Structure 1
Amino acid sequence: MQLFLILLSLLSCHVATVTAWAGCTRDRDKDHRTRENCTALSFSDIPAGFDPTTKVMLFTNNLFSSLSWSSFQIFTAIYEIDLSGNKIPQVTSSVTPILPTLSVLRLGSNRLTSLSDGSFTACPALTELYLDNNVVDSLSDHTFSGLSKLEILDLSSNRIKVLPELMLHPLPAIETLYLESNKIMVMPDDWFSKKEEVPYLFLSANPWACSCSLGYLRRYLDNYEFNVYTREGPIIQSDPESLVCDSPQWLKDKPVVTLEESDLCPPEPEPNPAGDSDKQTIPVHTDSVAPAVPDTTPLIPMTLPPVPTTVPPVPTTTSSFPTTVPTSTAAVPLNGSHTLAPHPTVRPSTEMTGTICAIRCRGVFCFWLCTGCLLLCVASVAFILVILVWLVGWCKRDYNLPNEAVARRGGGGEVVMLSTYSRREEKEGHEEE
Structure 2
Amino acid sequence: MSNVLNTFLDENLLALQAQGLYNEIDPVEGANGPIIKVGGKQLVNLSSNNYLGLATNDELKKIAQDTIASYGVGAGAVRTINGTLDLHVKLEETLAKFKGTEAAISYQSGFNCNMAAISAVMDKNDAILSDALNHASIIDGCRLSKAKIIPFAHADMDDLRAKAKDATESGLYNKVMVITDGVFSMDGDIAKLPEIVEIAKEFDLITYVDDAHGSGVTGKGAGTVKHFGLQHDIDFQIGTLSKAIGVVGGYVAGKKNLIDWLKVRSRPFLFSTALPPGDVAAITRAVEMIMESTELHDKLWENGQYLKDGLAKLGFNIGDSETPITPCIIGEEKLTQQFSKRLLEEGVYAKAIVFPTVPKGTGRVRNMPTAAHTKEMLDEALAIYEKVGRELEVIK
In the superposition, the TM-score normalised over structure 2's length comes to: 0.21
Structure (1 or 2) with the larger CA radius of gyration: 1
| Higher RCO, Cα 8 Å, sep 6+ | 2
Question: Which structure's residues are more often strand, by fraction?
Answer: 2
In the superposition, the TM-score normalised over structure 1's length comes to: 0.20
